A and B are shown apart, each in its own frame.
Chain A
């Protein structure tokens, strides 16, 4: 029996998280959504995630604080950043934070699948 993988989707826009949730949801995954920093804090307190797909900045925090919070509370989890900001220097900085991969919106489904497969 396959173990249930827990994924957290973080984005300001509920439509974006809904779309990704519908696309990624299957029998082996459990997906939780968070749209604000407070929601992120509350779900991180009560859950352990295998993978977190997050935007750089969401309501209530800047990018690095968000990543730091995630890293501190979920040490073993993999993080994939999906963002509209296409800045190479930021990508390098995020890599230093231990981000597994960095994707840009609009995201290619092949790239998304490949990245998730690689880390899960």
Chain B
């Protein structure tokens, strides 16, 4: 009796093992099929972008449009398509004005992103903001202005970077609205984006945010003046020499050292990096 029972147990265990192996093989097979499909979709997107770069006024072919519309109905593939539309930036330099907006509008990607911009979930909203500025959907600018001082860190971070992407140096004035803290990392991001924009003829907006009640915004302004060698507002910066916040005082000192040790032209050139010249300790250039 016990031997028979043992035999049955072994048979059942073997059956389970076989089912398990079949399950694993099937899932590997499905995974392989899925990754092949995703690669095909990726190649379609890159082909589309290649055609767009060749001729920005060219419409998407009917078949390709149908195929992509069908694919992006799935949430997963919608994000996958956007990810690759953004990833193209790592292959080809695309200025904000030359984004593939015709493709985005034809596939109604902008409408779907706009829906997510109204989401109450902060991660969805932050993601939608990021998508909007990465894809250059300038029509969504009001959502950025609205969220520049959001209580949610991720949301205001994306909104601030997006504003700088779209408006360049003019966006600085909107930082006066910010009451929440700004991290050093965020300041660096903002400055990196500012660097891609043409230099303004005057730095009045930088001067204005120097008067902000938010110490982090004052820090942003001083960091900005130091990085871009702005010497036209030095008096305003030196006024913060005795600021109550130690961080601001340290930055003013760093700015002072920078100004002292660099030869900066009086008239700042537009659209070109400032030709800063390092001044040596003995006074020679």
* Interface bracket on B: 10 to 19
Whether the pair A19, B93 counts as a contact (CB closer than 8 A) is no
Using known A-B contacts A14-B39, A14-B43, determine if residue A19 contacts B54 with beta carbons closer than 8 Å. Answer: no
Task: Find B50's partner among A21, A105, A107 (CB 8 Å cutoff).
Answer: A21
- The answer, yes or no, to whether A108 is at the interface (CB within 8 Å) is yes
Cα–Cα, bound, A109→B92 (Å):
7
Residue numbers in A under 8 Å from B54 (CB-CB) = 22-23
Cα–Cα, bound, A107→B49 (Å):
14
Residue numbers in B under 8 Å from A20 (CB-CB) = 50
Which residue of chain B has the shortest Cβ distance to A82 in the bound complex?
B91
Cα–Cα, bound, A108→B84 (Å):
18
**What is the 8 Å Cβ interface bit string for chain A, positions 73-109, against chain B (1 contact, 0 not)?**
0000000000010000000000000000000011111
**What is the 8 Å Cβ interface bit string for chain B, positions 39-78, against chain A (1 contact, 0 not)?**
1001101110111011000000000000000000000000
Task: Find B92's partner among A14, A18, A19, A84 (CB 8 Å cutoff).
Answer: A19
- Most B CB contacts (10 A, CB to CB) among A15, A16, A20 go to A15
- Most B CB contacts (10 A, CB to CB) among A19, A21, A22, A84 go to A19
Residue numbers in B under 8 Å from A109 (CB-CB) = 53, 92-93
**What is the 8 Å Cβ interface bit string for chain A, positions 1-37, against chain B (1 contact, 0 not)?**
0000000000000111011111100000000000000
Cα–Cα, bound, A108→B196 (Å):
14
Whether the pair A16, B91 counts as a contact (CB closer than 8 A) is yes
Whether the pair A15, B43 counts as a contact (CB closer than 8 A) is yes
* Interface bracket on A: 10 to 19
Task: Find A106's partner among B42, B49, B91 (CB 8 Å cutoff).
Answer: B91
Residue numbers in A under 8 Å from B46 (CB-CB) = 15-16, 18-19, 22
Please give the residue numbers on chain B whose beta carbons come within 8 Å of chain A beta carbons, in ascending order: 39, 42-43, 45-47, 49-51, 53-54, 84, 88-94
| Given pairs A15-B46, A107-B92, A107-B93, 18 additional interface contacts (CB within 8 A) | A15-B84, A18-B47, A18-B50, A19-B50, A19-B92, A21-B50, A22-B47, A22-B50, A22-B51, A22-B54, A23-B50, A23-B54, A84-B90, A106-B89, A106-B91, A106-B93, A107-B91, A109-B53
Please list 6 pairs of residues, one from A and one from B, whose beta carbons are closer than 8 Å in the complex, sorted by A's number. Answer: A14-B43, A15-B84, A16-B91, A19-B88, A22-B54, A23-B50
